Amino acid sequence: GQSLEQPSEVTAVEGAIVQINCTYQTSGFYGLSWYQQHDGGAPTFLSYNGLDGLEETGRFSSFLSRSDSYGYLLLQELQMKDSASYFCAVRDGGFKTIFGAGTRLFVKA
Amino acid sequence: EPEVTQTPSHQVTQMGQEVILRCVPISNHLYFYWYRQILGQKVEFLVSFYNNEISEKSEIFDDQFSVERPDGSNFTLKIRSTKLEDSAMYFCASQNFGQGRIEQYFGPGTRLTVT
């Protein structure tokens, strides 16, 4: 089957760095994306990796290793507003995007 | 900044009734998607649509569901004979692969409640 595994919950303090991991097992692979979702809101695109390596967008970075079927999202200088759910998602080679179950990030003062 | 819009924001319907959820994707995007999210759970892919036809659908997207792009702007999801388990948030998303990376823009969602 197709699956994406990520931790269900992560807690960190304001100003810290947190890493959210994602491992995937899909029939095809066309890239790993990360989305943020606040309670009651829509998913918002954060980052995308089509090739191995690190992509940096402001305080957020994302990494991909295709040989390990693994990626992570790195959030730096955490702020209270970063408290949200974070989903990794894989496009499976066709036009289907598979989402992980989401990681709920709690940022404490 | 262009955005995806969805109407209605909340729809309440009785079991067995038909509902149509509407979406207006970003105007120059070519690929359209419907997802659903049951409260507290993950986002689930329903269907993708390109060039006026379904390009891929999930096992969830059975004969009860259909999609249509009736004009140049709207993209609709129809659910025939709704069931209690169809209660969920339904998100529309659009994408333009010309950006060279995969970035989907989601609408605010329609909360469907089936009673």
Query: Do the Cβ atoms of A95 and B42 come within 8 Å?
Result: no
Smallest CA–CA separation between B56 and chain A, in Å? 6
User: Mean pLDDT over residues A85-105, rounded?
Assistant: 91
| The one-letter amino acid at B19 | V
Query: Do the Cβ atoms of B42 and A100 come within 8 Å?
Result: yes
How many C-beta neighbours within 10 Å does residue B16 have? 10
Name the interface residues of A facing B (CB cutoff 8 Å): 30-31, 33, 35, 37, 41-45, 48, 50, 87, 89, 91, 94-102
Q: Which of A43, A50, A94 sits opposite B43 (nearest CB)?
A: A43
pLDDT digits (tens, 9 = 90+) for A21-74: 999 998 888 899 999 999 999 999 999 999 999 999 899 999 999 999 999 999
Whether B102 and B95 have beta carbons less than 8 Å apart is answered as yes
pLDDT of residue A94: 77
Whether A51 and A4 have beta carbons less than 8 Å apart is answered as no
Q: Chain B contacts of A31, Cβ < 8 Å? A: 101-102
Distance CA B105, CA B98 (A): 14
